[in-house]
Amino acid sequence: MKKTPLIILSALTLLAGNGFAQTNVVNKTSSQKKKTTALPDVKKGFEFAEKQTALLLKETALVKAQSKKTALISPRSLDTADNLELVPSKDWCSGFFPGELWYLLEYTKDPQWEAAARNYTSDVEAEKTNGTTHDMGFKIYCSVGNGYRLTKNEHYKSVLLEAAKTLATRFNPKVGSIKSWDNRKNWKFPVIIDNMMNLELLFEATKISGDSSFYKIAVAHANTAMKNHFRSDYSSYHVIDYDPETGAVLHKQTHQGYADGSAWARGQAWGLYGYTMCYRYTKNKAYLEQAEHIAHFIFSNPHLPADLIPYWDYNDPAIPQSPRDVSAATVTASALYELSTYSSNGAQYKLWADKIIHQLNANYLAKPGSSRGFILLHSTGNKPSNGEIDVPIIYADYYYLEALLRQKHLADTGKIF
Domain span holding position 389: 44-413
Q: Please check whether residue 1 lies inside any domain of the structure.
A: no
194 included as an active-site residue: yes
On whether 390 is known to bind a ligand per the annotation, the reply is no
Express each pLDDT in 328-364 by its tens digit: 999 999 999 999 999 999 999 999 999 999 999 999 9
Express each pLDDT in 215-257 by its tens digit: 999 999 999 999 999 999 999 999 999 999 999 999 999 999 9
Whether the upstream peptide bond of residue 320 has omega within 30° of 0, thus cis, is yes
Are 345 and 285 a contacting pair, CB within 8 Å?
no
Q: Please check whether residue 322 lies inside any domain of the structure.
A: yes
* Residue 28 confidence (pLDDT): 39
Q: Please check whether residue 96 lies inside any domain of the structure.
A: yes
Confidence grade of residue 70 (pLDDT, cut at 50, 70, 90): confident
Average pLDDT over all residues of the chain? 92
* Residue 155 confidence (pLDDT): 98
Task: Determine the Cα–Cα distance for residues 389 and 370; give it in Å rounded to an integer.
Answer: 18
Please count the structural domains in the chain. 1
Q: How many beta carbons lie within 10 A of that of residue 183, not counting itself? A: 6
Are 46 and 404 a contacting pair, CB within 8 Å?
yes
3-state SS assignment for residue 318: coil
Task: Determine the Cα–Cα distance for residues 292 and 280; give it in Å rounded to an integer.
Answer: 14
3-state SS assignment for residue 393: strand
Q: Please check whether residue 62 lies inside any domain of the structure.
A: yes
On whether 194 is known to bind a ligand per the annotation, the reply is yes
Task: Determine the Cα–Cα distance for residues 104 and 405; give it in Å rounded to an integer.
Answer: 9
Q: How far is CA 298 from CA 190, 302, 321, 356, 357, in A?
A: 25, 9, 19, 13, 16
Burial of 216 (0-12, 13-18, 19+ CB in 10 A): middle
Sequence-distant (6+) residues with CB within 8 A of 350 are 336, 337, 340, 410
Percent share of the chain, pLDDT over 90? 89
Are 370 and 82 a contacting pair, CB within 8 Å?
no
Is residue 11 predicted with pLDDT exceeding 90?
Answer: no
- Among the listed residues 91, 123, 135, 313, the single catalytic one is 135
Q: Please check whether residue 228 lies inside any domain of the structure.
A: yes
Q: Please check whether residue 32 lies inside any domain of the structure.
A: no
On whether 385 is known to bind a ligand per the annotation, the reply is yes
Cα 360–272–328 angle (5° rounding)?
30
Q: Please check whether residue 171 lies inside any domain of the structure.
A: yes
Torsion of CA 180, 183, 189, 190, to 10 degrees: -50
What is the CATH number for 316? Answer: 1.50.10.10
On whether 118 is known to bind a ligand per the annotation, the reply is no
On whether 233 is known to bind a ligand per the annotation, the reply is no
- Among the listed residues 41, 91, 123, 194, the single catalytic one is 194
Cα 76–82–85 angle (5° rounding)?
25
On whether 397 is known to bind a ligand per the annotation, the reply is no
Express each pLDDT in 257-293 by its tens digit: 999 999 999 999 999 999 999 999 999 999 999 999 9
Task: Determine the Cα–Cα distance for residues 338 and 323; give it in Å rounded to an integer.
Answer: 27
pTM of the complete model? 0.91
* Residue 146 confidence (pLDDT): 98
3-state SS assignment for residue 184: coil
Q: How many beta carbons lie within 10 A of that of residue 382, not counting itself? A: 14
Confidence grade of residue 27 (pLDDT, cut at 50, 70, 90): very low
Confidence grade of residue 3 (pLDDT, cut at 50, 70, 90): very low
Q: Please check whether residue 208 lies inside any domain of the structure.
A: yes
Cα 292–415–48 angle (5° rounding)?
95
